[in-house]
Amino acid sequence: MGEAVSVLWIVFLFVIFYMLIIRPQQVKLKQRRALVASLRVGDRVETIGGIQGMVMSLDTDTIELQIAPEIMITLGRQAVAGRVGEED
Q: Which fold has domain 40-88?
A: SH3 type barrels. (2.30.30)
- Residue 39's nearest CA partner among 75, 83, 73 is 83
Q: pLDDT tens digits, residue range 38-82?
A: 999 999 999 999 999 999 999 999 999 999 999 999 999 999 999
Domain extents in the chain: 1-38, 40-88
What is the reported pTM?
0.70
Three-class SS state of 31:
helix
- Residue 63's nearest CA partner among 31, 88, 30, 35 is 35
Report which secondary-structure segment, H or E, holds 9. helix 2-17
CA angle 71, 78, 53 (to 5 degrees): 25
